[in-house]
Each structure stands twice: as C-alpha cells, then as structure tokens.
Amino acid sequence: MHIDEEELNKALDKPADYGPDLDLSSYLIEPEEAARLDESILKRAYDVGIDLSRKDSAGNFLQVDHSVMVKAIQKRFENDVEVMTIDEAMGKYDWVKGLMWNLISPYKDKYTAFVAKNRRGGYFIRVLEGRRVYIPVQACLLLYSPHIMQALHNLIIAEDGTEAHIITGCTHHTKSVKGLHLGMTEIYVKRNAKLSFTMVHKWGPGMDVRPRTGILVEEGGTMFYNYVLLGEVGSIQTYPAVTLLGDNSRISMNNVVYLSGSSNADLGGGVAIKGSGSRAELLTNSVVTDRAKLVSRGSIVSEAPGTKGHISCKGLMLSDSAEISAVPLLTSKNADSELTHEAAIGKIAEEQLFYLRSRGFRLDEAESLLVRGFLDISSMKLPKHVERSINTIIEQTMKGF
Amino acid sequence: MLKIERLYVTVGERLVLSDVNLEIDEGEVHVLFGPNGSGKSSLVMTILGHPSYKVISGRIIFKGIDITEMPTEERIKLGIAATLQHPPKLQGIMLKDLLNRISDGRLRDDGLLRLIDKLRINEDLLNRHVNVGFSGGEIKKCELVQVFALNPDLLLFDEPDSGVDIENLELIGRAMSELLAGKSALIITHHGHILRYIKPVRAHIMFNGQIACNGDPEEMLNQISKNGYGWCEKCISMRRS
C-alpha cells in the first residue's frame, strides 16, 4: 500500500481511540544495552509459553528488542511453512509490501504511524498452500534494554487449504523496568484455511503495550484467535479488527485475562461480517484484583445473510478497588443475521463456595479453584502440550493469590 | 453419631426449622419424608453449616462434638458428607480434577474406580466441567461419587431419586446401598422411589419445618403413597387438637 508521508506525519500526534495516551518521546529507540542470547532470555521466553529448546515445534522465532536471535524451521517442515524476518520476506517476495498496511491503517493513531516510519523487525510466517502443520510455530518478542520501544511489523499468511497453529509469547526481560511494545500484526487466512493463533502476554508494572492487529478471513476460512494476558501491566490497549470477507468464514476470539496490581487494560475486538453464512464469536473471561482496571470491548457488525455473531463478556471481581467495564456492541445490517451478547460481572458466587467447602475445601482453596476455573482455556482447543504449558503459566501467576 | 436437639433455624427473616429433634445412631440409616418446602433440604443445609442458615437456638452434636457453629469444611473433616439436590455448576473445573483433589490424589484408588465404573461414569463425563450441561441422572451420580471420595461416616442424601430415570435409579440405588454398608445416613426423599434399593431402620416426616411423625419406613411410605401428604396433615392437626 502506498503511504502518504504527510498524512503519516500528522498521525504521529494522534492519540488512540481508547486507552491512556503515551508520550513516545519518553522511550528510547536505540537500545542502551545490546542483548546476548543467554539462559535468562530463554527463561523469559519460557515464562510466556515459548520453549525454544523444544524439538517438536515446526519453527521458532525470537526477537529481542530489535535483533532477531532465533529464526529456524525444522527440516521436515521446510516445504510446509516459511519463517523469516519481515525484511527478508520483503526482499524475497515483491508482493509482501502490498500486504502490509492493508489490514491496519498506518494513519490510525500515533502508534501505527510510528511503526510505519520506524519499523524495526518483526516476523513473517507463511503456511504454504494445502499444507497442514500440526505442531505449532513459536514466536517470542522480548523487550530487554531499559526504556526501549519495540516497533515491529508481523505478517502471517495461511494460504488456501492450510492448517496451522502459531503460538506467540510477548514479555520483557527483568532488566527492562520500563518499555513500550508496539506490534503490528496482519493476518491473512485464505480460502478454506484453518489458522489457530495464540498469544500469551506477561508484562510488568512499567510496561506499556499497544498491539495493532488486522485479520482477513476468506471464503471457508477459520481463524481461532486466542489471547491470554496475565499479571500486572502498566497499560495495554488493543482492539484486533477482523473482516470475515468470504462466505462461510469464521472467527472465534477467546480472551482469558487475569489482571493484578495497578494494571490499566483496554481489550477487545471488532468483527465485520461481510460473507454470507459466516460466524463470529468473541469470548472474554476476565479476573481483576487489587486496583486493576479493565475495559472489555466487543463489536460485531453483520452485513450478510445467514450469519451469526455472539459476544460474551464475563468478569470476576476479586477486589473493591478493581474495575471492569463490559462494552458489547451489535450492529445488524441484514435481517437474516442472528446477533446475541451476554455480559456478567460479579464476585465469586456464594453457592459455589459453599459447594466446594461442603466437599472439604477451605475457603481460600475454594476461591482459588473457582478463579482458576474461570480462567479455563479448554475452549481454545490448543494442542495438548501448549494447553499444559499455558495452564502452568496461569498457575504460576496465581500463586500469590 | 448425630444428635439434633431443639433446633430452630432462620433464613433471612423466615423460620425454616422449628424445634427439630433427631437422633441417628452409628450404622443406622434413616429416611426423611415430607412435602416440598417442608424444610427437608433446610435440615441438610443446616447440618452442613450453610452460611445463610442461621441456628437461633438448639444444638447439633456429631460424634459427641457440638458442631453447631463449626465452619462447613471442618464438619466434612469430622466425617459428614452430603449429596445436594441442586448443586451449582462449576465452569472450568473438570469432574476428574475435582475428584482427584477431593480424594487427595486417590482417584486411582480401587474403590473409587469401581464406583465410577458401577455408576457408568465414562471418560467423557469425567472430562466435563462439574454439573455443566449434566442431565438429572448425571448430576446425582456426580454427587454420589464425590461424597464417596470423601469417605464419610455420616451421609446425607438430598433427593437422590428426583429427576432420575428408571435405569439410573437402579444404578444409583445399588451404588448407594453398597456405599452405606456400616455407615450412618439420612436419606431425604419426596416420593420414596429409592427405598426399592435401601431399607432404612426408621422414618420421619417433616411438616412446616418440624418433624411431625416418626415410625416404620415401610408403613409410612405405604400411607404416603396411598393417601398423599394431605393425609399426614390431617393426622397431625387431629393429634394437635
């Protein structure tokens, strides 16, 4: 897509629609300290579900600040999937440029404009036509140097008739106490492709996060978009925009959130259903504690016949100083479209607590079991080992609870 | 084993139990009949120590210990367990995991496995979230197996036969009767169907929050089946006048 420099410069000052406004000049573009790939980095990747030592992943990608440190494809998947840096991909294929800034507008806000002007890295993952890659491709994006600002652009393409899992983990190294993660991700799910994309985020109180995601699903395509956010974060705001362009296409967006400390999160997603017979579901289960604030948004706009859309926002409040807002929005432009939503926010139900106590559990054990149950990820339909590792991360995050 | 003395209980402003007296000795199985809303479930909730059920007077003694004010989980540790009539759904908690925790990791325990098998609780049900989308029969079986995992000395069954089809009734009845060997129990039943499989030594009828009548289980069930609870009501009011 052609980018108008003047318009881009104007957008550099434009705050985002949602979430607290950030001053980009308070972060550093160049790292003060160059990272080296060592145990501590592998450990942090592991903390967000990315085990780079695994032999049974189809491919691996690790970017620390701006440097790509791991980029590998297992030999037996070389004809199935491509994993490279976005710059390599742009050099290799002349069509790559045309797919960038196609699903996300560079003029949307200061964060998109900044990345459009200052892109530093990002991954390119492409599943080749008709290939089924049953074991996941893993990608980890890590902030290392203090006050660093990561400005990535990722591109994922699931070609016609493919099937694949991508697991990404984003976090910061203990060295960086303050930082900003800007990640643009454009995802193309082509005809009859089935893509499962799972992202695990774990940040710290000084970290700000502004991902921008655009997803396009073609005819017969299915996208599972799973997002797990755990622990404390300075501020995070994200709102993936999905277009179900093709007939009989489908998106299932599944957010599981446990927010603590003084986190400020504005999460959600919007789906435009344009293809007939297409279906969208946006599900969020969130737990907030301490002074954490969460806005959970969901929007479905249906323009085609025979379509269905459902939004579910469920929130569990563990503290009187925490706050949850659920903002579901349904818009129908076609009479033959069935759109529904449910939202429920409250504390742990007394009847459930009593039930578990009547089975011998102490009050605190009952509470933690119920909270843990609320953060259930079985509906994400992940490969078993991925489900296990994410469950372990959830349990570790909740240890203090 | 269990001794309830002059028990008065309120829920909010409402008096749900008044002057309830009941004694169950070691190894005895009793049955409690009564129309809907008479206070049968309230008695179970009170014995378990549900926070909404406030004992305003009277005592509950279990194994010689006054448990009237004891937290629920401590009563369970002492050896009480109950199947509930309307247990809540536990989203995100698999039956298998819950059983494992209740039995302290003894899910592989022979007895528990045998019961799971006997009740025809299959792998699919074990992998489902507790009570979520369960049928009437599945709920009862799930309650039964949890209670078994606790290995209690006193069992309370709140309507184990309501909303259960004939086939499951037989499974549940046979499992219960095996479970009850040598234990004390109170079985609450509106219709008494479960008594095809279990023979209690004593029966009680609850009316308006009171135990109005005590007697032989078979005789009482015959009267209730023949004449309904309306007959009991007349009998009680006659006795009172």
Residue with tokens 């492409």: A126
Least confident residue range of A176-180, B55-59, B229-233: B229-233
Largest Cα separation within chain B, whole Å, is 58
Q: Which of the four pLDDT bands, split at 50, 70 and 90, describes residue B106?
A: low
Asked if residues B130 and B142 have their Cβ atoms less than 8 Å apart, the reply is yes
The predicted pLDDT at position B105 comes to: 63
Asked if residues A19 and A210 have their Cβ atoms less than 8 Å apart, the reply is yes
Tell me how many degrees the CA angle B85-B88-B94 measures, rounded to the nearest 5.
115
Same domain, A289 and A378: no
Q: Does A350 touch chain B (CB under 8 A)?
A: yes
Q: Name the DSSP letter for residue A186.
A: E
Number of domains in chain A: 2
pLDDT single digits (tens) A96-155: 999 999 999 999 999 999 999 999 999 999 999 999 998 999 999 999 999 999 999 999
The predicted pLDDT at position A80 comes to: 96
Same domain, A25 and A91: yes
Taking CB atoms and an 8 Å cut-off, how many pairs form between chains A and B? 60
Interface test with chain B among A316, A350, A358, A391, by most B beta carbons within 10 Å:
A358
pLDDT single digits (tens) A313-323: 999 999 999 99
pLDDT mean over A252-259:
97
Same domain, A145 and A132: yes
Report CB contact under 8 Å: A352, B88: yes
Residue B116, CA distances (Å) to A86, B4, B110, B171 in order: 54, 33, 10, 11
Q: Is the pLDDT of residue B230 over 90?
A: no
pLDDT single digits (tens) B62-73: 999 999 999 999
The DSSP code sequence of A343-397 is EEEES--HHHHHHHHTTT--HHHHHHHHHHHHT--GGG---HHHHHHHHHHHHHH
Same domain, A212 and A116: yes
Separation between Cα atoms, residue B198 and residue B188, nearest integer Å: 12
Q: Among candidates B99, B186, B107, which has minimal Cα distance to B143? A: B99
Name the residue among B52, B76, B91 with its Cβ closest to that of A360: B76
**Helical (H) or strand (E) element with A82:** strand A81-85
Cross-strand pairs, B22: B4
Beta strand A123-127 with A81-85 is antiparallel
Of the candidates A334, A352, A370, which is a domain's last residue? A352
CA distance B53 to chain A (A): 12
Structure tokens at A258: 């446990």
Report CB contact under 8 Å: B98, A362: no
Q: Does A348 touch chain B (CB under 8 A)?
A: no
Q: Name the DSSP letter for residue A75.
A: G
Q: Which of the four pLDDT bands, split at 50, 70 and 90, describes residue B227?
A: confident
Name the residue of chain A whose CA is nearest to B44's CA: A358
Structure tokens at B52: 């909404």
Backbone angles phi, psi at A185, to 5 degrees: -130, 120
Same domain, A374 and A298: no
Q: Does A373 touch chain B (CB under 8 A)?
A: yes
Q: Is the pLDDT of residue B75 over 70?
A: yes
Backbone angles phi, psi at B174, to 5 degrees: -65, -40
Residue window 252-291, chain A: list those with CB within 8 Å of chain B: none
Mean pLDDT, all residues of chain A: 95
Report CB contact under 8 Å: B73, A357: yes
- Amino acid, single-letter form, for residue A155: L
Q: In what order do the strands lie in the sheet with A67-73?
A: A67-73, A59-64, A132-143, A163-172, A194-202, A222-231, A250-259, A279-288, A307-317, A337-346
Structure tokens at A380: 């994400």
The predicted pLDDT at position A56 comes to: 73
Same domain, A72 and A193: yes
Q: Which of the four pLDDT bands, split at 50, 70 and 90, describes residue A347?
A: very high
Name the residue of chain B whose CA is nearest to A351's CA: B88
Q: Which of the four pLDDT bands, split at 50, 70 and 90, describes residue B229?
A: confident
Give the residue numbers spanning the domain of A138: 5-352
Burial group, residue B9, by CB count within 10 angstroms (0-12, 13-18, 19+): buried
The model's pTM is 0.89
Asked if residues A86 and A155 have their Cβ atoms less than 8 Å apart, the reply is yes
Burial group, residue A256, by CB count within 10 angstroms (0-12, 13-18, 19+): buried
pLDDT single digits (tens) A202-251: 999 999 999 999 999 999 999 999 999 999 999 999 999 999 999 999 99
pLDDT mean over A69-85:
93
The predicted pLDDT at position B160 comes to: 93
Tell me which of B152 and B233 has the higher pLDDT. Answer: B152
Q: Does A39 touch chain B (CB under 8 A)?
A: no
Residue A196, CA distances (Å) to A133, A165, A254, A308, B198 in order: 11, 5, 11, 20, 53
Q: Which of the four pLDDT bands, split at 50, 70 and 90, describes residue B107?
A: low
Same domain, A290 and A362: no
Structure tokens at A267: 């999460």
Same domain, A285 and A368: no
Q: Is the pLDDT of residue A67 over 70?
A: yes
Backbone angles phi, psi at B15, to 5 degrees: -85, 115
Same domain, A236 and A253: yes
Burial group, residue B74, by CB count within 10 angstroms (0-12, 13-18, 19+): middle
Backbone angles phi, psi at A348, to 5 degrees: -65, 135
The predicted pLDDT at position B109 comes to: 66
| C-alpha atoms less than 13 angstroms from C-alpha of B239 in its C-beta half-sphere | 8
On chain A, the residues whose CB falls within 8 A of the CB of B87 are 355
Q: Is the pLDDT of residue A400 over 90?
A: no
Residue B218, CA distances (Å) to A316, B85, B160, B223 in order: 49, 23, 18, 9
Listed ranges A216-230, B100-114, B209-223; the one with the highest mean pLDDT: A216-230
Asked if residues A243 and A215 have their Cβ atoms less than 8 Å apart, the reply is yes
Tell me which of A177 and B194 has the higher pLDDT. Answer: B194
Report CB contact under 8 Å: A351, B92: no
pLDDT mean over B176-200:
92
Q: Which of the four pLDDT bands, split at 50, 70 and 90, describes residue A85?
A: very high
Tell me how many degrees the CA angle A252-A201-A182 measures, rounded to the nearest 5.
95
pLDDT mean over A158-165:
98
Report CB contact under 8 Å: A376, B92: yes
Q: Which of the four pLDDT bands, split at 50, 70 and 90, describes residue A201?
A: very high
B232: left (phi over 0), alpha (psi -120 to 50) or beta: alpha
The predicted pLDDT at position A398 comes to: 81
- Amino acid, single-letter form, for residue A195: L
pLDDT mean over B72-85:
96
Cross-strand pairs, A258: A230, A287
pLDDT mean over B32-41:
92
The predicted pLDDT at position A262 comes to: 96
Report CB contact under 8 Å: A369, B48: no
Same domain, A157 and A100: yes
- In percent, the amount of chain B with pLDDT more than 70 equals 98
Separation between Cα atoms, residue B188 and residue B6, nearest integer Å: 20
Q: Does B129 touch chain A (CB under 8 A)?
A: yes
Residue with tokens 């469920």: A314
CA distance B179 to chain A (A): 17
Structure tokens at A28: 């550093």
Least confident residue range of A12-16, A328-332, B163-167: B163-167
Q: Which of the four pLDDT bands, split at 50, 70 and 90, describes residue B108?
A: low
Q: Among candidates A382, A152, A392, which has minimal Cα distance to A254? A: A382
Same domain, A328 and A377: no
Q: Is the pLDDT of residue B89 over 90?
A: yes
Least confident residue range of A30-39, A45-54, B91-100, B229-238: B229-238
Tell me how many degrees the CA angle A267-A270-A273 measures, rounded to the nearest 5.
160
Same domain, A144 and A98: yes
